Structure 1
Amino acid sequence: METAIAFIIIFGAIVFFHELGHFLFAKKAGIMVREFAIGMGPKIFAMTKGETLYTIRLLPIGGYVRMAGEDLDSIELQPGFRLGIRLNDANEIEQIVLNQNKQFPDMLFLEVEKSDLMKEMYIEGYNEEERLVRYKVARNAVINENGKETFIAPYDRQFGSKTVGQRSLAIFAGPLFNFILSFFIFVALGLLQGIPTYEPVITTVVPESPAEQAGMQDGDLVTMINGVTITSWKELSEEVKVSPNEAMDFTVERNGESLDLNMTPNEVVAGKEKVGQIGVTYSSPMEKNPVKAVVYGAEQTYNTTLLIFTALGNLVNGQFSIDDLSGPVGIYKVTEDVAESGVYNLIYWAALLSINLGIMNLLPLPALDGGRLLFFLFEAIRGKPVDKQKEGMIHFVGIMLLMVLMVVVTWNDIQRFFF
């Protein structure tokens, strides 16, 4: 149960920030957002605020921001269609009732002759006296159909009316917010847990090792090796690694005193190499520094991003196979293991997942944010958008392929963890 709660909270937070990026930049561009959803499938919570429906859905495997004009959500009033209307104080239509079974105060009835609910914003038709009348439609008018109210979307509030740059930013903002979230998580870890200093401080000396025989002790700070100044554990490790069976002079600082120690690293086989080893373990000292925490957040975000791109490159060149990929089941299982190792590791895992989600969504594949950005690039180069039907078909095929991939990786996860 604890693992399930941790998984839902982590994945929900990551999806929330992803969709928040889409939402904020869409609103900034003046695009009407019809729904902000966390999760997929049936609604378990819904709240309308302003022109947006906020929902939490049953399956914690994604989310979406539904913008006006992205799907076929516009309603065309065909000639001869009979509807009810209500007017505001400016004599503009503020409510259009398509289901007339329910009566509203001050409702008027029209038989539609012609209308435009996107650009010119009017309805023209015959009233109860069979006179042809024309009413302007308010920009904030709602359509009531079977009790469900939907705001109309004037063309300038629709996704397709915006410039390529505005649409691109609204789509790119989702992955961008995943990187921003990871950055702040890493900064928070730096402030709460501390930042590794990577100082060459010996944590533990292995019994009967060259280090113990030379007199090295836990807590010794290595300052020099063979006359070369050592400032980090990486430098210490590299010097020892390339010197198997070679006598080495160490200078260490212990209780404020400087001591000289001599030892010869053992030769061990690591892969196809023979390397030196003196028999010590290392755990970096931690420090809490707000400025360094910010730097640490940026470095960790960059390094993790680079690592994931490297893994994707290995997948392309065949060094990494599809059998090694994990889906929701694999992520759940890893979350369970990480949760057992402590809250800080769980928070770190959340940052990794957020970056991973951001990168995956930027891949230039149909149905993903990266695929949509690719279409915007084509539009910018050609000077006109790709045919909507063709683009829709490509995205549909992409969704089907992604679903097949999800089934494959989920089956791999089930076999890996349960059989």
Structure 2
Amino acid sequence: MSNVPLWLYFVAFLAVLGPLVFVHEYGHYIVGRWCGVKADAFSIGFGRKIFGWTDKRGTEWRICWLPLGGYVQFAGDRDAVSQPDANWQAMPAAERSHSFPAQPVWKRALIVLAGPVTNFLFAIAILAAFAMAYGQSQTPAVVGQVDPGRPAATAGLQAGDRILEIGGRSMRVFDDIQMAIAFDLGQPVNLLVERGNERFGLTVTPDIIKETDRFGNKSERAILGIRSGKLVYTPVGPIAAIGHGVDQTVGIVRMTASVLVQFVTGDRSIKDMSGPVKIAKTSGEVASLGIEQLIFFAAFISINLGFINLLPLPMLDGGHLLFYGYEAVRRRPAPPQAQEWAFRFGFAAIVTLMLVVTFNDLGSIGVWDGIARLIG
């Protein structure tokens, strides 16, 4: 069981989510400002305002009591999800020119895209800083040891083999192998292997192993049954560190997309979905291991936040971009009624998803087991 104090869960959760929400919304805000759009409100959190102030540009900055997100409401927006106000065209001309709906579609798309992109840039900066501080992993993608009885041994991999590709993707360092295999649910994978002067292909079906961490969390991952040789970390300069941050961010996005596809196809159970309660739990546990681990976790969550917001679901940034794409192609906006119904669908889908992940999250902290014991 975890010995993490209760207060640390709340503090760590706010320390992770608060800055990430600010970064995301500030991306929208600053690009909107560059595009000449007035922001009426910048809110961290939803619901009742705890405190706030209005700056010289007329933007009200708010901190609200429900810290599960945030929003920037631009002039001409009807609500926090940037649905246009039906009366925006009746605004005085000077004000209307600085409203969001009056902007050309490319400006609106840039403003919307800026939120997720800023999340990615924030994560890249963190990962680059870690690479500069601790060095970059240069452990070659070479098999140092093969575990007997595991798929790698069965397939004939040997110590000293260099894995060049997995599924057509280049393996530069040993970490790339783990990233390519771990979350793919044990599906058969094609390997390109170099042994001496010979290159050949292998098809290997990884094993699924179950693990329990020091906090009692259970998880599954796929393994080939190989280990690296001596770990190699080398110091890097700013340019190489940024490249490393980009590579890691792309790898995490690819992994997240793969897991999402598994949910959609049914290969992965929706019981594995998690939400704010699980993030809070994990934040506290990671914080108990040290500030470096918490900062790295924040980078991971930032990447996921950016990725999820790009999904083409109404109410998310990706949903807005989908409509702007339609507008750019058809030279006119989608019919207001179609947008309204799409946003209603998006709202219902997000509420349903939140109910599912909250149910899962409560199960992960033992709520349902506790209720069952009380009833029994």
Q: Same fold (TM over 0.5)?
A: yes
Q: Of the candidates 315, 318, 323, which is equivalent to residue 370 of structure 1?
A: 318
**CA 1:191/1:412 → structure 2, altered by over 3 Å: closer, same or farther?**
same
Corresponding residue for residue 192 of structure 2:
none
| Amino acid across the alignment from 2:296 | Y
Q: Of the candidates 338, 353, 359, which is equivalent to residue 411 of structure 1?
A: 359
Aligned-partner Cα distance in 1 for 2:246–2:77: 34
Corresponding residue for residue 260 of structure 2:
312
How big is the alpha-carbon RMSD for the aligned residues of Structure 1 and Structure 2?
3.6
Aligned-partner Cα distance in 2 for 1:306–1:193: 24
Q: After superposition, what is the alpha-carbon deviation per residue over 1:167-198, rounded to whole angstroms, capped at 9, x for unaligned?
A: 11111111111111111010111122322221
Deviation at 1:59, TM superposition (A): 1.2
Aligned-partner Cα distance in 1 for 2:206–2:91: 71
1:197 and 2:171 correspond: no
Deviation at 1:304, TM superposition (A): 1.0
Aligned-partner Cα distance in 2 for 1:31–1:39: 22
**CA 1:373/1:275 → structure 2, altered by over 3 Å: closer, same or farther?**
closer
Q: Is the 8 A contact 1:196 1:287 kept in 2?
A: no
Q: TM-score, normalised by structure 1?
A: 0.63
Q: Is the 8 A contact 2:143 2:160 kept in 1?
A: no
Corresponding residue for residue 299 of structure 1:
247
Deviation at 1:396, TM superposition (A): 2.7
Q: Of the candidates 49, 52, 62, which is equivalent to residue 59 of structure 2?
A: 52
Corresponding residue for residue 217 of structure 1:
none
Give the secondary-structure state (helix, strand or coil) at the position aligned to 2:322: helix
| Amino acid across the alignment from 1:309 | A
| Amino acid across the alignment from 1:47 | W
Corresponding residue for residue 75 of structure 2:
68
1:159 and 2:105 correspond: no
Aligned-partner Cα distance in 1 for 2:361–2:39: 36
1:6 and 2:9 correspond: no
Q: After superposition, what is the alpha-carbon deviation per residue over 1:19-72, rounded to whole angstroms, capped at 9, x for unaligned?
A: 011101111221110001111111112010021001111111000000111117
Aligned-partner Cα distance in 2 for 1:409–1:200: 37
Deviation at 1:303, TM superposition (A): 1.0
Q: Is the 8 A contact 1:193 1:344 kept in 2?
A: no
Structure with bigger helix share is: 2
Aligned-partner Cα distance in 2 for 1:75–1:233: 55
Aligned-partner Cα distance in 2 for 1:20–1:356: 17
Q: Is the 8 A contact 1:37 1:54 kept in 2?
A: yes
Between Structure 1 and Structure 2, how many residues are aligned?
Answer: 295
Corresponding residue for residue 387 of structure 1:
335
Give the secondary-structure state (helix, strand or coil) at the position aligned to 1:323: helix
Q: Is the 8 A contact 2:43 2:64 kept in 1?
A: yes
Aligned-partner Cα distance in 2 for 1:380–1:57: 36
Q: TM-score, normalised by structure 2?
A: 0.70
Q: After superposition, what is the alpha-carbon deviation per residue over 1:127-186, rounded to whole angstroms, capped at 9, x for unaligned?
A: xxxxxxxxxxxx5xxxxxxxxxxxxxx211111111010111111111111111111010
Deviation at 1:399, TM superposition (A): 1.3
Aligned-partner Cα distance in 2 for 1:361–1:315: 17
Deviates more, 1:21-30 or 1:392-401: 392-401
Deviation at 1:280, TM superposition (A): 8.1
1:347 and 2:295 correspond: yes
Q: After superposition, what is the alpha-carbon deviation per residue over 1:252-308, rounded to whole angstroms, capped at 9, x for unaligned?
A: xxxxxxxxxxxxxxxxx973999887x987544353543332221111111111111
**CA 1:402/1:290 → structure 2, altered by over 3 Å: closer, same or farther?**
same
Structure with bigger strand share is: 1
Larger of the two Rg values belongs to structure:
1
| Amino acid across the alignment from 1:173 | A
Deviates more, 1:300-309 or 1:64-73: 64-73
Q: Between the two structures, name the one with larger relative contact order (CA 8 Å, sep ≥ 6).
A: 2
**CA 1:270/1:401 → structure 2, altered by over 3 Å: closer, same or farther?**
closer
**CA 1:384/1:286 → structure 2, altered by over 3 Å: closer, same or farther?**
same
Q: Which runs of 5+ in 1 are unaligned?
A: 77-115, 120-138, 140-153, 210-223, 227-231, 239-247, 250-268
| Amino acid across the alignment from 1:320 | R
**CA 1:393/1:192 → structure 2, altered by over 3 Å: closer, same or farther?**
same
Corresponding residue for residue 271 of structure 1:
207
Identity among equivalent positions (%) equals: 33
Q: After superposition, what is the alpha-carbon deviation per residue over 1:306-341, rounded to whole angstroms, capped at 9, x for unaligned?
A: 111111121222212221110101111121222233
Corresponding residue for residue 181 of structure 1:
122
Corresponding residue for residue 202 of structure 2:
none
